[in-house]
């Protein structure tokens, strides 16, 4: 596995990136749920809640993969 300037292999970097963006989006969606609720659009609030759950699951799965990589030592020198 190649390591770039970050010291992490590509797969580890990609997982961290997906995890970060999923967590950031989940935080933002909380506001979107409130906005939709304030506008009286429960259907849209429900939609935002659903994608918030999906992003949470995505972040959780990335976390599990990252744990596996760190234990196996295949994540690159930055986490060794």
Q: Which domain holds residue 65?
A: 17-71
In a domain, 8, yes or no: no
Helix (H) or strand (E) holding 53: helix 42-72
Question: Where residue 80 falls among pLDDT bands split at 50, 70, 90?
Answer: very low
In a domain, 39, yes or no: yes
Q: Is the dihedral of CA 27, 29, 31, 33 positive or negative?
A: negative
The whole-model pTM stands at 0.74
In a domain, 22, yes or no: yes
Neighbouring residues of 14: CB distance < 8 A, sequence distance ≥ 6: none
In a domain, 9, yes or no: no
In a domain, 3, yes or no: no
In a domain, 57, yes or no: yes
Task: Find out whether 78 and 15 touch, Cβ atoms under 8 Å.
Answer: no
In a domain, 64, yes or no: yes
CA 11, CA 65: separation in Å to the nearest integer? 10
In a domain, 47, yes or no: yes
Based on the structure, what is the number of domains in the chain?
A: 1
Share of residues in the chain with pLDDT > 70 (%): 80
């Amino acid at each position: 596995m190649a390591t770039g300037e970050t010291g992490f292999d590509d797969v580890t970097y990609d997982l961290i990136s997906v995890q970060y963006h999923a967590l950031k989006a989940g935080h933002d969606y909380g506001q979107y749920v409130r906005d939709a609720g304030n506008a009286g659009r429960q259907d849209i609030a429900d939609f935002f809640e659903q994608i918030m759950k999906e992003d949470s699951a995505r972040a959780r799965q990335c976390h599990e993969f990252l744990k596996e990589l760190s234990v196996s030592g295949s994540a690159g020198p930055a986490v060794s």
